[in-house]
Amino acid sequence: MFNAGAYAQPPPATAYLCAACGEETELKPKEPVRCKTCGHRVLYKKRTSRMVQFEAR
């Protein structure tokens, strides 16, 4: 069984860097991956510097 208490706390936002404009965008797990400044969908995960690309479905 899952621990219900684990879902009570909001998940931490993850910082991303936009591949298009370079602006930092913080996204929570349930938010759509998109730059809040320019709307670009290719964001770099800030800590790993690996490119994470999310295609719209």
Choices 3-11, 17-25, 26-34, 44-52; region in contact with Zn ion by CB under 5 A: 17-25
Using the minimum distance from each CB to Zn ion, give the nearer residue, 40 or 45: 40
Nearer to Zn ion, 11 or 39 (CB): 39
Stretch that binds Zn ion, among 4-12, 26-34, 39-47, 48-56 (CB under 5 A): 39-47
Phi-psi category of 22—alpha, beta or left, where left has phi over 0 and alpha has psi -120 to 50? left
> How far does CA 8 lie from the centroid of its chain?
20
Q: Are 54 and 14 in contact, with CB atoms under 8 Å apart?
A: no
Q: Is 38 in the site for Zn ion (CB under 5 A)?
A: yes
Identify the three-state secondary structure at position 53.
Answer: strand
